[in-house]
Structure 1
Amino acid sequence: MKDKPVWLRSRRAAREEPPLTREKIVAEAVALLDEEGAAKLTMRRLAQRLDAGSTTLYWHVDTKDDVLDLALDTVFGEVALPEPSGDWRADVRALVTGWRGAMLRHPWSAALVGRPMIGPNVLARTEFLYAALLRGGFSGSALATAAHGLANYVTGSALTLTVANGDDGPLPEGYLDGYPILRDNGHLRAEDWNEIFAQGLESFMDGLASLRA
C-alpha cells in the first residue's frame, strides 16, 4: 500500500528538543531547489547543507518525496490570499497572477504540480478559487471545469516560460525558413510573456462565463 502523504502522518515525538526542525529542512530544500532544480535534490545533499546527519533528517521526513511535497506547499504559501472583492473575475485574476509569480520565482515548482496537492497552503488557495467561482455563479460541473481549467492555464504558462528561459538561445539564422509563419510570428520577447498571460486569462474567463447556469 502506498504510504500516506506527509500531511496525513503524525509527526514523531522527540524525547528532547531536536536541533533541527521540519520548517528549517523545508526552507533549505527550497533554497537548494531554487539553485539547482529537483534533479539535484537528494537527502544526503540536503543533510550536508543543513550540517546534520542523515538520522536527524529522517526523524522529520521519511523520503525525498516528503521534502518535495512540503517544498511545493511552501511555494504556494507565498501566494497572497486577496480579500474577496465581490467581483469574481478580479478575485480570480489576483489569485492566479500571484500563483504564476510564485512558480516563476521557483522554476522547479511548475513541473511538480502533478504531485499530491493536499498541503494546507494549496488547499487554502484552492478553497479561495472555488469560493470566487461560486460567487461568480458557477456550480456543479461548470465549477469543476472552471477551477481545473484555470489551474491548468496558470501552471502551463509558468512551465512554458520556465522552459523558454532555460533554452540555449535563438535558433540559427535560416533554421525556420521552411516555416515562414513561425519564423515571422513565433518568437516572443521576454516582455511579451506577461502580457500574453494577462490577455489569455481575460479571454479564458470570458469563455468560462458562458458555462454559468
Structure 2
Amino acid sequence: MSDENVWLRPRKPARQVLTIERIVAEALALLDEEGIDRLTMRRLAERLGTGSTTLYWHVKTKDDVLDLALDAVFGEAELPSGGDWRARAEGLCSAWRAAMLRHPWSITLLDRPMMGPNALGRTDFLYRTLEEAGLPDVRAAAHSLSTFVIGSVTLQAHDSAADLTEHLRPYPTLAAHGLAHDWAATFARGLGYLLDGMSVIAPVGQPETARRTCGPSD
C-alpha cells in the first residue's frame, strides 16, 4: 500500500539540468581519459546520466562536441595582464602550450575551423598585443608564434623515451645535441629567440636611434 502512495514512496534524487557547460565538462573528461575515438554521443549521454535524445537537443553531432571541447581548451589559457607587449605575448603562448599539453588530443583538432569565443578572443588578444608593439606585419608575427607553439607541443606529444644513442651514431652533430631534452626549457628558449627577433623591428620601447638602425634603408 505504501508503494502506491505518492507521499510515502521514496523520492528519487533530482536530475541535474543538462547544460552546454555540463556537456563540455563531461566531454573534456571523457576525451582526457579515453581519447577521441572513444567519444560517441551515446557514451557521452550515458556519462551525463541522460538519454541521447536529450543530448541531441543541445548538440547535433560529435563534431559539435569536439568544437566545443577544443574551444574550452583555449579558454584554459588565461590572458596575461600587465607587462609590456613581449611579456604578454610570451605569457599567452606559454599558457596555450600548457593547456594543450593537459589535453593532448586537442593537437589533432587544430585543423578544424576555430570560431569559438575563446579561440577568437585569444587570437584577437595576440594580434592586438603585436599591433601595440608596432610590428609592420602583425599577421606574419602571430602566425610565427602560433606555428611555433603548435609545432613544439606536437613534437613533445610524440616524444619517444627510447635510447637513440646507437641509432644517431652516424649523425654526430645531432647526437652531440641529442633528441632528449627539457621540453619546457627548450620551448622557453625558442620562444625567446622569436621574440628577440621581433623586438629588433618593433618600434615600441626602442630609442629613436635604434629604430632608424633597424628600419629599412631609404
Relative to the length of structure 2, the TM-score reads 0.79
Task: Give the TM-score of the pair, scaled to structure 1.
Answer: 0.81
Q: In the TM superposition, what whole-angstrom CA distance separates every residue of 1:52-97 from its partner, at most 9, and x where no partner exists? A: 2111111110111110110011111111111242x11111011111
Shift of 1:183: 3.3
Give yes or no for the alignment of 1:122 onto 2:112: no
Q: Which residue of 2 aligns with 1:205?
A: 195
CA contact (8 A) 1:84 1:132 kept: no
Corresponding residue for 1:150?
145
**CA–CA distance in structure 1, aligned partners of residues 165 and 193 of structure 2:** 34
1:30 match: 28
Which consecutive unaligned segments of at least 5 residues does structure 1 have?
A: 1-16
What runs of 5+ residues in structure 2 fail to find an aligned partner?
1-14, 203-214
Distance in 2 (CA, whole Å) between partners of 1:72 and 1:183 is: 37
- For residues 43 and 151 of structure 2, the distance between their equivalents in structure 1, rounded to whole angstroms, comes to 30
Alpha-carbon separation, structure 1, partners of 2:197 and 2:55: 48
2:5 is matched with: none
- Give the alignment's Cα RMSD to 1 decimal: 2.0
Report deviation, 1:19: 3.3
Secondary structure of 2:104's aligned partner: coil
Which string of whole-angstrom CA distances, capped at 9 and with x for unpartnered residues, describes residues 79-129 of structure 1?
A: 1111242x1111101111111111111111122122111111111111111
Is the aligned partner of 1:94 residue 2:91? yes
Answer whether contact 2:23 2:48 (CA < 8 A) is retained: yes
Kindly provide the amino acid, as one letter, of the partner of residue 190 in structure 2.
G
The match for 1:3 is none
Q: Which residue of 2 aligns with 1:5?
A: none
Q: Which of 72, 97, 106 is 1:109 aligned to? A: 106
1:83 corresponds to: 81
How much has 1:171 moved relative to structure 2? 4.1
* Paired letter, 1:194: A
Deviation at 1:18, TM superposition (A): 8.4
CA distance in 1, matches of 2:201, 2:112: 28
Alpha-carbon offset, residue 176 of structure 1 = 3.1
User: Is the partner of 2:32 in helix, strand or coil?
Assistant: helix
What residue in structure 2 maps to residue 51 of structure 1? 49
Which residue of the partner structure matches residue 212 of structure 2?
Answer: none
TM-aligned CA deviation for residue 158 of structure 1: 1.2
Per the alignment, residue 178 of structure 2 pairs with 186
Q: Which amino acid aligns with 2:173?
A: I
- The Cα of 1:210 is off from its aligned counterpart by 4.9
TM-superposed CA distance for 1:152, in Å, is 1.0
Report how many aligned residue pairs link the two structures: 189
**Aligned pair partner of 2:167 in 160, 175, 178:** 175
Identity %: 53
Between the aligned partners of 2:110 and 2:201, the Cα distance in structure 1 is: 26
Partner of 1:10: none
